[in-house]
Amino acid sequence: MGENQATIPLEKICDVVTEWVNSVATLVQPEHIHWCDGSMEEKRIIESQMIARGELIKLNQETFPDCFLARSHPNDVARTEHQTFVCTRDKELAGSNNNWMSPDSAHELMRGLFSGCMQGRTLYVIPYRLGPLSSPYARCGVEITDSPYVVLNMRIMTRMGTDALRRITIDGKFVKGLHSTGDLNSERRYIIHYPEETLVESFGSGYGGNALLAKKCHALRIASWQAREEGWLAEHMLIMGVQNPAGEVRYIAAAFPSACGKTNLAMLTPPTSMPGWKVFTVGDDIAWLHVGDDGRLWAINPEAGYFGVVPGTNRDTNKNAFDMIHAGTIFTNVALTADDEPWWQGRKKNQPIKDWMGNDYVDGAVAAHANSRFTVSASRNPVQSAESNNPMGVPISAIVFGGRRAALAPLVCEAFDWDHGVLMGASLASETTAAATGTTGIVRRDPMAMKPFCGYNLSDYWRHWLKIGRNLKSPPKLFHVNWFRRDTKGHYLWPGFGENLRVIQWMLDRSENRAAATASAIGWMPRVADLNLQGLELEASIMEQLLSVNQSEWLQEIVELREYFKQQDRFPAELELQLQSIETRLVSNNQ
């Protein structure tokens, strides 16, 4: 690297990247090639080009400064898991949890699709870094795309641009991502991962996790593969800091399947009856966890922004997110008001005149798409943790798994040890609910909330988790929570939202050995008196229900879990042993 590197054109800085870009350009035949530097000027130019082409709408700049609305193709509004593949040479490595194709077949298929696909279009080269720039745990990638929408989103979601490219010259390696929106034909849509080549290829979608390849494709699927090889964990977890009235800050990492309020939890507003408590967000979706020299588990958030669900966001559900998305935000697939404000179900203000597809809004129709999203820099979060940019990350005191269960799972339960906690994570499940009737839906198993994101065989993944536990001298405690337990009439028993901090307090106190618990068949549990319920009007009988463990329901759960785990080849014996122990305790405790 020469001294005057800043004056050298970007594409000359990094031969390894240039070489790859050139070979891709030969295949896709773009009209122009643009190397993204991440500057404000570049952002402005891309925005105005998109606005001129009708691909981006400038929102009301008085009430929503620097905010824009983008609409995706109506057939392209969410990740498409059935078109997502992990292509390893050995099929068993991908596991039954992933769709598989041989790398050769995948390469042939994708070569056909990519051939000439960028004719008349601009090829953007997006160098990015996941994690704080100087962090030894951070990783680089380069996404090539023909979507300016992807460029604007990646600029928010990652540390994108020249600095990342310079890091690549230092690291000498990066994850490759090749993306084209193609013709948005849903029949010709593929998201292909080649973990052995640290390569992702995505064609035919412009939406979220299908197109922003740094997110689920790199930071989870490819990273989880690398993490296994290198002895760390890439997880679908929020990271939050919690400060108690004495000023002590502790960190938790938490995994929940979708629709369980992960972003709300990461930005929780403490209830007024818990004065002196504060919550800080380190991350809302992904955690990279390492065993520190001190034998503790440390976490960084590889992302720099949030790609969150918009509907339902308001002052009551998530004030911090609500405030955060009033500037510098890209909205995707929300509705529009007469005065160019974004609108969504639960916004509680103003009225839509255009729905998410840009059609005139008719009363009673869906205004914002249920999976409409905001993309916003984490720096806009009023409670962003000051530690978010710490290259070493934050030490984790508790790992929390949570699901949406109308019955069965108590409000909170602590694993007896690491292996038991791994089983708790592996058993994670959530229910689809018919909200109107309160009826219980179908239970979906989603181990560690990683089912769609683990880039390799789940059994090997659990084995890796077990191994990480052996490498930790001071492991965090592991917990399972359920904010969604209901009574027989279908009413939620627990108020949720800010009040969840009471459960977090107990978990953190447990990790400091300063809270009491009682042993149940399924783990350590608080008695009602062990929780801080000051200022919360909740009948004792409701608390008893929230903390109850029903023997026959749990024995049935064990049967269903065995059935589920039977479908996983190579299921670890250690976890089978944990299942047996729970079963034995259930029978002998007779609870």
Positions marked active-site? 260
From the CB of 506, what's the least distance to ligand SAT, in Å? 29
As a whole number of angstroms, the distance between CA 484 and CA 76 comes to 30
Does 208 help bind ligand SAT (rule: CB under 6 A)? yes
From the CB of 308, what's the least distance to ligand SAT, in Å? 9
The site for ligand SAT, by CB under 6 A, has a size of: 7
Q: Interface mask (CB under 5 A) for Mn ion, residues 283-302, using x and -?
A: --x-----------------
CB 478 within 8 A of CB 418: yes
Q: Interface mask (CB under 6 A) for ligand SAT, residues 270-309, using x and -?
A: -------------------------------------x--
Residue with the two structure tokens 């004495």: 246
From the CB of 265, what's the least distance to Mn ion, in Å? 13
Does 218 help bind ligand SAT (rule: CB under 6 A)? no
Nearer to ligand SAT, 179 or 216 (CB): 216
First to last CA, the chain: 68
Nearer to Mn ion, 285 or 431 (CB): 285
Q: Interface mask (CB under 6 A) for ligand SAT, residues 46-85, using x and -?
A: ---------------------------------x------
Nearer to ligand SAT, 233 or 450 (CB): 450
Does 509 help bind Mn ion (rule: CB under 5 A)? no
Nearer to Mn ion, 267 or 521 (CB): 267
The answer for residues whose C-beta is within 8 angstroms of residue 47's C-beta and 6 or more apart is 56, 58, 68, 152
As a whole number of angstroms, the distance between CA 284 and CA 324 comes to 14
From the CB of 302, what's the least distance to Mn ion, in Å? 12
Report helix angle 573-589 to 551-566, nearest 10.
160
Determine how many CB atoms are found less than 10 A away from the CB of residue 67: 23
The residue from 139, 215, 404, 445 that contacts ligand SAT (CB under 6 A) is 215
391 φ/ψ angles, rounded to the nearest 5 degrees: -60, -25
Residue with the two structure tokens 């680089």: 140
From the CB of 450, what's the least distance to ligand SAT, in Å? 12
Residue with the two structure tokens 């009430």: 63
Report helix angle 103-114 to 15-28, nearest 10.
70
Strands 342-343 and 335-337, by their bridges, are antiparallel
Nearer to ligand SAT, 28 or 428 (CB): 428
* Binding partner selected for residue 425 from Mn ion, ligand SAT, none, CB under the kind-specific 5 to 8 Å limit: none
User: ∠ CA 359-365-366 to the nearest 5 degrees?
Assistant: 85
As a whole number of angstroms, the distance between CA 253 and CA 258 comes to 16
Q: Tokens at residue 3, please?
A: 């001294």
- What does the binding site for Mn ion look like in residue numbers (CB under 5 A)? 285
- What does the binding site for ligand SAT look like in residue numbers (CB under 6 A)? 79, 208-209, 215-216, 258, 307
